[in-house]
Amino acid sequence: MTETKARRRAGRPRVFDTDAALDKAVRLFWQRGYEATSMADLVAETGVAAASLYAAFGNKAGLFAAVIERYAATFSVHLYAPINDPALSTYEAVKGLLERAASSFSEPGTPAGCFMYSAAAAVSPASAAIECLLRDKRIAAEALLIERLQRGAAQGDLAANTDPAVLGKFINTVMEGMSVQARDGATTSELLSVAKMALDRWPAAI
Amino acid sequence: MTETKARRRAGRPRVFDTDAALDKAVRLFWQRGYEATSMADLVAETGVAAASLYAAFGNKAGLFAAVIERYAATFSVHLYAPINDPALSTYEAVKGLLERAASSFSEPGTPAGCFMYSAAAAVSPASAAIECLLRDKRIAAEALLIERLQRGAAQGDLAANTDPAVLGKFINTVMEGMSVQARDGATTSELLSVAKMALDRWPAAI
DNA sequence: CACGATATAGAACGATCGATAAATAATATC
DNA sequence: GATATTATTTATCGATCGTTCTATATCGTG
């Protein structure tokens, strides 16, 4: 997509670091949500003038879309790593996912919970497209989890009488609930105990 | 609190029905969240002039506080009824709670999910007090659930090695996740299957 | 009927919203 | 160095935000 080292574009080069600004923006949107975060907030937090943000991202929605991708690349990738790790059993993969959720959702250095779940939980009709962006991400993530379970089932790594779609939706539901819990102040150990209880429901072979 | 039939207050009587207006306001805040719902929206939806709303509720935050109580009286009471039903076993109570959550969160006539979970999921610092109002409600509801489980444990209605606090937090977490799921379009039957999986391996008394 | 009290409707308040126009600065290319 | 292109700064735009003012309407009470 972007030419890595080849000829730079003409004109005055950008003086601010796009990824650094996005990292700041991620935190703001994460904490306050899409509509409650104003451009003035973003200008104050990133130190980048409004016109420069608009030149780089088009508008607030475009900036948010870039923020989503930045969050996915820096946080979601780490969260879902166990799902994509072929060395793990199906159970270990889900266990790793829930344990990472427990720790990352309550990590001190970042806002509580998951950005994907709370950044646009309830918005005005004017921002329906934004809500949809995140919803699609959530649905896609659940689908990936279910696909992982289906692979496990195909390899005999899951009880035969288990519906991967139901199990995946259950796991995903617990994870979404853990985000709400984290937002309300649940500690890592509390979230871990919740994750453990969810894994206790793991379907045993008959 | 309010004098039921005694001498009415002096002055021009209120022409709009407070509860009817609150019901409309509940739907708006439920769907869009606190900050994304404007006073202009509320005026348009309720048909009550802004000045009248301010006269009745003080300001937007006061109106929202009244909306919370209205929601609690009309929806939460029904949702948590099984918890307060002494005729039900501990398992039946929790089962009833989750099943009511599954159906009410996906009921066609109302916004998806639970008002308490999504109406102020992420807000600006200016509305921190509002966020706290709902958080306190959520924490209190979880405490009531845990107390119910503790009563069950005291009566030998729960496995002796079960920690009611952990089990209650787990059930509450699943319910919160079900709200996110409902917001993303999960059907009643999908939510019921999630609830069913949460209830599997219930730690009943041996 | 007069008077105080409360509610109503409509207009308008200052503040903030997302977004942009105009002028200037810094680069690549010719 | 001339020119085209892009980024930055500063100021500002119209719209909307929550809220309040003003004037009027409708009640209970004396």
pLDDT, tens digit, for every residue of A119-141?
999 999 999 999 999 999 999 99
State the pLDDT at residue B168: 98
Confidence at residue A12, expressed as pLDDT on a 0 to 100 scale: 82
Residues A182, A113 contacting (CB under 8 angstroms) = yes
C27 closest protein residue (CA to C1'): A12
Q: What is the pLDDT of residue A1?
A: 35
Q: How far is CA A80 from the centre of its chain?
A: 9
Q: Are B112 and B30 in contact (CB under 8 A)?
A: no
- The vertex-A178 CA angle with B107 and A164, nearest 5°, equals 70
pLDDT at B199: 96
Strands in chain A per DSSP E: none
Tell me which residue of B184, B205, B195, B166 sits closest to B79, measured CA to CA: B195
Of all nucleotides in the shown strands, which has a C1' nearest the CA of B58?
D19
Q: What spatial distance separates the first Cα and last Cα of chain B, rounded to whole Å?
A: 48
How far, in Å, CA of B50 to CA of B39, rounded? 7
Q: In order of start, what are the domains of chain B with their CATH numbers?
A: 16-74 (1.10.10.60), 80-206 (1.10.357.10)
- At A28-66, the pLDDT tens digits run 999 999 999 999 999 999 999 999 999 999 999 999 999
In this complex, do B122 and A198 lie within 8 Å of one another by their Cβ atoms?
Answer: no
**Are A106 and A195 within 8 A, CB to CB?**
no
Is B180 close to A180, i.e. CB distance below 8 A? Answer: yes
Distance B125 CA to D23 C1' (A): 37
Yes or no, beta carbons of A184 and B33 under 8 Å apart: no
Strand D proximal to B37 Cβ, under 7 A: yes
DSSP tag of B51: H
pLDDT (tens digit, 9 = 90+) per residue, A15-25?
A: 899 999 999 99
Task: Please identify residues in chain B, positions 59-78, with a C-beta within 7 angstroms of any atom of strand D.
Answer: 59-61
b/e code B142-169 from CB counts within 10 Å (16+ = b): beebbebbbebbeeebbeeebbbebbbb
What percentage of chain B's residues is helix, strand, coil (to nearest 5)? 65, 0, 35
* Protein-contacted bases of chain D (C-beta within 7 A): 4-12, 16-22, 25-29
- The answer to whether B124 contacts A36, with C-beta atoms less than 8 Å apart, is yes
Of chain A residues 51-70, which have a beta carbon within 7 Å of strand D? 51-52, 55-56
* Residue B125: predicted pLDDT: 97
Q: Is B11 left (phi over 0), alpha (psi -120 to 50) or beta?
A: left
- Span A97-109, pLDDT tens digits: 999 999 999 999 9
Confidence of residue A4 (pLDDT cuts 50, 70, 90): very low
d(CA A183, CA B144): 19
By the 10 Å C-beta count (0-12 exposed, 13-18 middle, 19+ buried), B206 is classed as exposed
For the stretch A148-174, pLDDT in tens is 999 999 999 999 999 999 999 999 999
Residue B126 confidence (pLDDT): 96
| Nucleotide with the nearest C1' to B35 CA | D17
pLDDT at position A3 is 33
Contact B121, A33 (CB under 8 A): yes
Cα–Cα distances (Å) from A147 to A172, A204, B98, in that order, read 13, 19, 27
C-alpha B203: how far from its chain's center? 27
Mean pLDDT by 10 residues, chain B (206 residues): 47 86 98 97 96 96 98 98 97 98 98 98 97 98 98 94 96 98 98 97 76
Predicted confidence at residue B6, as pLDDT, reads 37
Measured distance CA(A193)–CA(A179) in Å, rounded: 14
The two structure tokens encoding residue B6 = 């005694």
pLDDT at B7: 56
Task: Choose the closest CB to B180 out of A117, A124, A166.
Answer: A117
Within 13 A of A115's CA, how many CA atoms are on the CB side? 27
Q: Is the CB of A39 under 7 A from strand C?
A: yes
Q: What pLDDT is stored for residue A42 in this prediction? A: 98
Q: Which nucleotides of C are covered by protein (CB under 7 A)?
A: 4-12, 16-22, 25-29
Which nucleotide is at minimal CA–C1' distance from A15?
D7
Cβ contact B126 with chain C strand, < 7 A? no
Contact in structure between B120 and B134 (CB atoms under 8 Å): yes
Q: Kindly determine whether the C-beta of residue A5 is less than 7 Å away from any atom of nucleic acid strand D.
A: no
What's the pLDDT at B4? Answer: 33
